Structure formats: C-alpha cells, structure tokens
C-alpha cells in the first residue's frame, strides 16, 4: 500500500477501522498542528489511537509515559501486531537489551517508545542531546494530580518535560478526572493553552446493577450463578482486602469456576503469572484488589463484579470500564453493605485529605442507593448530562414514581445563585427553609428573594431533593472551594430556560429498597453466528499460543463477531471487517478465510462463488501493491498482472499507466511486426532477448489489442 499522510487512510491501514470514534479525528488534527492537548475519554473509548496514529505521521519519535510495566508491554504487543514499530524501556531489562533498544531508537527504527516516568526523567539528558522528538504522550495523566484517585508522586516531576522541550507538543490522557483534576493536570504539566477534549463518558454497552445487604452465602451463590450463565467469558471480581480475594477465589473454585486471586501482597512473579493466565484465557475469573487491572488492555472482559462498595466514583468507573472495551455488551454488578461503608470510613480516618475522601465516599454511596437511573448519576459526576434514562441498569428496569420537579429545583438553584455560589448543602437548605440561625443572618442570606421559598419541605426532604439534583447534574460540588455547591450548565438551563426535570417524591424514596432480585441469566440461544464465533475463537487461541501473545492481540471479540456475522470467503471481504488492518489481513487473512470456508462446508452452508479477477480488483481499489496482493492471495505476481490485463480488457480498469510506459508498448508493437502478429508471450519474450518481463509484455498486449479494436 502506498505511503499516506491521510489520518483516515492510516487508521484503516494500521488499525483496520473505516471511521474514527467521536473526537478522535479532531484530537489527532490538533496534535498534528503542534497543540498541547488534554484528553478525557472513557476506558475503551479509543484514547490510545489519539497519540499512536499521529506518531505514525510525525517525522520523529513519540515518547509515551505509562505508569505500569504490564500496561506498556500490553500496548506494545498490540502495536507490533498491527505492524507498527513500537517498544518499551523499563527496569526489568538488562543493560545489554537496553543498549540495543537505545541504538534502535538512535537509528530511527522505533516510532513509539514507552517509558515509566522515572525512566524518562533519568534519560532526559541523553534524549535531549541525541534524539529528535515529535510528540510526548502522558497516559493515565490523573496520576499527576493530588485530586486524582490514583495520585503517584513520581508523576509530579513531569513538568520538566515542557521545560526541556518547550516546542514539543504534549498530549495528556485519562479516563477518570473531574473538573478539579483536569485543571490540576494542565497546571502540573505546564501545558500551553491546551486544547481540552472531553468525550462522552457513557459506555452504553455496560449494564449497571447494584445489590444491597445480601448475606454472604447467598451472595456467593448469586455470583457463581452469574458467572455460570456466562460460560467461556472472562471477568473480574473486585474485593476490598487481600484476604477476601483469596477467600473469593477459593469459593468460586468450589463452584467449578476457573478462578485465581491477585493482590499487592503477592510476589511480582506470582502476580505476573496470574495476570498472564488471565490475559491468555487460561484463567476465566480473577478475584482481585484494585491493584489489578490498570496494567492490562484485555478487550474481552465480559463482566466486572464488586464484592464491596468502592471508595469513590472515579475508582468504580475505572474498574467497571475494564469490561467490554471492545464495545460488546458486558455486565457490571456491585454488592455492598453497611459494613462496607463503616470499613471504608475507618480507612479514610487513617488517610490524608479526610474531608475530600469522606465526600467522595458519600457520592458512591448515593449512587448505590439511588432511586433514579444509575447511568444519569454516573455521568453527572463527571460533568455530563444524560437527559433520558438508559434502560440498561437495574433502576430503569424497576423505575420509581416521579413528579415535575422543575419549580422545586428552580427555588434551590435561584437561592444558590443569590449567594454567589458560596454555600454548601446545609446552609442552602437553611436559606430555603427560612432559618434564622446566626450564620444566615451574619451573611445577609435572610434578605435574599428566595429566603424561605421552600419552607413547606422538611430539612430531611430537602436533603433528598438536593441529592437528586446533584445526581442529575444540576449541581456540582467544588471540592477545592470548601465543598461549596456550583450550578452546572444543565442547572442553568433549568433555572433560566425552564428546562423540565423529573424528581422522585421523598416519600417514594422511603419505600425504595435496594434488595432487588436481579435476573442473573442471559440469552444463551445458539445460532450459526454464535457457533462460528466459538469456532473462530479456537483458531485465534491457537495462533495466540503459537505467537505467545494474548488472544485479543490477534483479533478482538468484536472482530471475531464481525467475521461470524459476515462469513467472508474472499480476502477482499476482510476489508469490510472492523479491526482488519493491512498488516493483519496479510498475516492472518488467508488462515481465517480458509477456516471459515471449511466451517461453512461442514455446516452445509452454501458460499457464494468467488471471482478471482474481482478479488484482485477490490484489493487494487484499496491501493494494495502488486507484491502485497500476491503475498496476501498466495499467488505469483505474474498471475496478478494477468488479472490486471483481463480487468483492463473488460473496461474495469481505465488505463495501465501505473504499470507500463508508452515506450514499452511501442517496443512490443515493433516486435509483433517483426515476428508476425502473435499473442503468444514466449516468442515475444525470446525476440526481445528476455529484457522485457513476461508481465510487461502481457499488459502491453492488452493495451495494443484494445487500441486496435477501438480503431
């Protein structure tokens, strides 16, 4: 295929996709225009392509800062599987391997180099003196912020990068950052007027369910039934303590489930072995603390179960985001109890930033106990408004009765606006109820127009309504401004534009019980597509074991499902399959075509007859070279040229200028006159002293014959 500087063509060639996901193209254009960028995009939303694709188009190397060795290894394997020059440099490599890699970097043989923040900082003097850098990408950028849920001190020194390379654009990427964290990331990295891109945090393929107060024995039975209903699928069970991960793995094994545990108390060797087993589908379920998951890029995790309440929404969102990264339907299930809340509050008392962490725990508890669509709450926490219920969470399946809460919300929003958004929840409620407590009088809040505007509701009722307003995204909490309430853009639409909202009656909330029975079964009906999917999954597993890479690095489940639906029997048909880039079509295309044909034959499914000329024509249209077509189709190049000659005579191809010159045609025409009109290649080849190859003669004959016919 010819070299291209077209991002969309590069996307198809290297990643196998015809279209960009939302915001990707815009972000890539900004990077190519040397702009600093801050990208917020959900796990599985396509963050990596935002720096990997520009790296292929930029002239020099791209440095990628990544926090975990396993994460680097995973991404580099996936890039290499797409035919991209990528590598990583970390402390596990011996001096000789590091030196070899450094030499490859010097020679320009590496387009993307992954490093830990510590490694990059130690290499700054060498890189500055010896290597030209086009782009720096900071992955998991929330780690730099004290407000982030996964703060890492080693990230805080990355501000040096902009000092060292002021002209090199930096792209910072994260899947989990609220507004405060976003602001902090940009400041800490010294980003210059960064373009800020916030993609939708919605992952509609993930179902959301919560179970409250289920006793241990019953919970274990439910979890086992949930997993058995999803046979052959991978999943993660998150637990609060190391001990509980071991107990959970033992319990699941007792139910006949392939399960292992993972936590920070294990040796690095033990953890790597468990992770490797999971990544390569030898183990189906991992029972883990939150130490597990950040370092993997496994796209076919089909479920995430939380055995306990997470400590904040950011962590919960990141953990459930490890399911369904390939976009296929996946399930999340959260169990929690009052005991979880007590335990987490005890943890917080022994930590820094107690007030902030208590407030964040409040928000995840509110999410777990909500009577309104869970996805609305989850997205509102990250500043995104979902105006309609998602119909893919347990609350939507058991909805509460609502009323038009627009006027009630406008009272609260108006009162907050009149305080210049300088108060928290309790004072706002006191203003609405007309309280004459000292703090209200001292600040003059008793003189504002909305003082006492909501006195018909109790303090308890107002707490519930304001909580709903927070969950709906009308209000936000400014953690860095003494936890004061702020009116969101959506809230302003409700206040000033009379945007309608629905609230749940406070008495209805009292009736709401979290002990909902969840239907743990899934549709397990078999059809031809599902059977073929299972068959191809076996083929993929065999290739993965042979190459010693995870199965999803070969092809994602989404690609296998696409293959199962479309049942391609010609190489050109693979061009329509998502995730089938040029490199993978050449490497695996014939194998999968052969296996699909064989499976269809075994199952008495008729296949359309293939036209070898049409097959070549389609590949030519996709700008594959003759050499690439011959290699992919496992044919000799002269055969492909004969196809081109045939296509030209049938008017499928307009001209042959790309393959022969006018001089070639004249030489062959003269030879024909000398030895007598002939359409045979051998006599012409011999007469021309074998100086003109057979395929050139064939194409010249096609052009001569067509011109003679036209004349």
pLDDT in tens, 32-89: 999 999 999 887 778 899 999 999 999 999 999 988 777 788 889 889 988 999 999 8
pLDDT for 343 equals 84
Contact call for residues 16 and 578 (beta carbons, < 8 A): yes
| Regions in the chain scoring below 70 on pLDDT | 1-5, 146-150, 291, 293-296, 507-528, 608-610, 711
pTM of the model: 0.68
CA separation for the pair 248, 549 (Å, rounded) = 28
> For residue range 7-24, what is the model confidence (pLDDT) as tens digits?
988 998 888 888 898 899
Q: What are the b/e assignments for 339-367, b being 16+ CB within 10 Å? A: ebbebbeeebeeeeeeebbeebbebbbbb
CA separation for the pair 495, 647 (Å, rounded) = 67
pLDDT for 295 equals 57
Cα Rg of the chain, angstroms: 31
Q: Is the dihedral of CA 191, 197, 202, 205 positive or negative?
A: negative
CA separation for the pair 39, 26 (Å, rounded) = 11
> For residue range 606-646, what is the model confidence (pLDDT) as tens digits?
776 667 888 888 888 877 888 878 877 778 888 999 999 88
Burial class (CB in 10 A: 0-12, 13-18, 19+), 97: exposed
pLDDT for 515 equals 35
Q: What angle in degrees, to the nearest 10, is found between the helix axes of 406-418 and 459-472?
A: 90
Q: Is the dihedral of CA 319, 320, 325, 331 positive or negative?
A: positive
Going from the N-terminus, what domains does the chain have, and what CATH number goes with each?
Answer: 7-198 (3.40.50.300), 206-397 (3.40.50.300), 402-511 (1.10.10.10), 528-608 (1.10.150.80), 636-710 (no CATH)
| Beta-bridge partners for 209 | 333
| Structure-token pair, residue 320 | 């459930």
**3 state DSSP class of 268:** helix
DSSP classification of residue 208 = E
pLDDT for 498 equals 92
Q: What angle is formed at CA 333 by the lines to CA 331 and CA 336, rounded to 5 degrees?
A: 170
Three-state SS annotation for 613-675: HHHHHHHHHCCCCHHHHHHHHCCCHHHHHHHHHHHHHCCCCCCCCCCCCHHHHHHHHHHHHHH
């Amino acid at each position: 295929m010819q070299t291209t500087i077209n991002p969309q063509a590069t996307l198809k060639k290297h990643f196998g996709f015809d279209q960009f996901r939302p915001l990707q193209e815009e972000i890539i254009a900004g990077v190519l225009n040397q702009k600093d960028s801050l990208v917020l995009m959900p796990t599985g939303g396509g963050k990596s392509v935002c720096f990997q694709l520009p790296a292929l188009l930029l002239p020099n190397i791209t440095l990628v800062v990544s926090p975990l060795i396993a994460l680097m290894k995973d991404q580099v394997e996936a890039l290499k599987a797409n035919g991209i020059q990528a590598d990583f440099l970390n402390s596990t490599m011996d001096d000789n391997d590091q030196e070899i890699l450094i030499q490859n970097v010097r020679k320009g043989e590496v387009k993307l180099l992954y490093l830990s923040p510590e490694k990059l900082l130690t290499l700054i003097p060498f890189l500055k003196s010896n290597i030209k850098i086009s782009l720096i990408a900071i992955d998991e950028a929330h780690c730099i912020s004290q407000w982030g849920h996964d703060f890492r001190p080693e990230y805080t020194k990355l501000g040096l990068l902009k000092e060292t390379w002021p002209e090199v654009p930096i792209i910072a990427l994260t899947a989990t950052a609220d507004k405060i964290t976003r602001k902090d990331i940009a400041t800490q990295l010294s980003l210059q007027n960064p373009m800020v891109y916030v993609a939708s945090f919605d992952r509609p393929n993930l179902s959301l369910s919560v179970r409250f107060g289920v006793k241990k024995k019953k919970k274990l039975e439910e979890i086992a039934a949930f997993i058995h209903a999803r046979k052959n699928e991978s999943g993660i069970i998150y637990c609060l303590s190391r001990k509980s991960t071991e107990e959970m793995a033992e319990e699941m094994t007792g139910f006949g489930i392939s399960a292992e545990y993972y936590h920070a108390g294990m040796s690095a060797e033990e953890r790597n072995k468990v992770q490797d087993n999971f990544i390569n589908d030898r183990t189906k379920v991992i029972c883990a603390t939150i130490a597990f998951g950040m370092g993997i890029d496994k796209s076919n995790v089909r479920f995430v179960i939380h055995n306990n309440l997470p400590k904040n929404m950011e962590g919960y969102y990141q953990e459930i985001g490890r399911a369904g990264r390939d976009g296929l339907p996946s399930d999340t299930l959260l169990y929690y109890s009052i005991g979880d809340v007590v335990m987490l509050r005890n943890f917080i008392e022994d930590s820094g930033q107690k007030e902030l962490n208590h407030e964040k725990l409040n928000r995840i508890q509110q999410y777990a106990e909500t009577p309104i669509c869970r996805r609305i709450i989850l997205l509102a926490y990250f500043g995104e408004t979902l105006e309609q219920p998602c119909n893919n969470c347990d609350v939507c399946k058991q909805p509460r009765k609502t009323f038009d809460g627009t006027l009630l919300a406008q009272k609260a929003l108006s009162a907050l606006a009149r305080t210049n958004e300088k108060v928290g929840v309790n004072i706002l409620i006191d203003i609405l109820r007309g309280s004459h407590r000292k703090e209200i009088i001292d600040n003059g809040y008793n003189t504002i127009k909305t003082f006492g505007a909501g006195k018909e509701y109790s303090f308890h009722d107002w707490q519930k309504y304001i909580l709903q307003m927070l969950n709906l995204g009308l209000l936000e909490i400014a953690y860095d401004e003494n936890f004061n309430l702020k009116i969101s853009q959506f809230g302003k639409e409700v206040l000033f534009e009379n945007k309608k909202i629905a609230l749940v009656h406070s008495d209805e909330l009292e009736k709401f019980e979290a002990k909902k029975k969840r239907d743990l079964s899934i549709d397990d009906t078999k059809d031809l597509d599902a059977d073929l999917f299972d068959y191809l999954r076996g083929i993929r597993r065999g290739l993965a074991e042979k190459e010693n890479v995870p199965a999803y690095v070969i092809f994602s489940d989404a690609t296998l499902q696409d293959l199962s639906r479309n049942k391609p029997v010609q190489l050109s048909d693979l061009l329509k399959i998502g995730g089938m880039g040029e490199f993978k079509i050449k490497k695996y295309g014939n194998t999968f075509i052969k296996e699909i044909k064989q499976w269809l034959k075994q199952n008495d499914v008729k296949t359309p007859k293939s036209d070898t000329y049409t097959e070549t024509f389609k590949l030519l249209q996709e700008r594959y070279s003759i050499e690439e077509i011959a290699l992919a189709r496992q044919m000799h190049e002269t055969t492909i040229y004969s196809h081109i000659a045939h296509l030209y005579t049938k008017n499928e191809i307009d001209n042959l200028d790309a393959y022969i010159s006018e001089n070639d045609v004249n030489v062959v025409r003269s030879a024909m006159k000398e030895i007598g009109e002939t359409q045979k290649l051998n006599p012409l080849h011999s007469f021309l002293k074998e100086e003109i190859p057979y395929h050139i003669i064939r194409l010249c004959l096609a052009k001569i014959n067509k011109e003679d016919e036209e004349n």
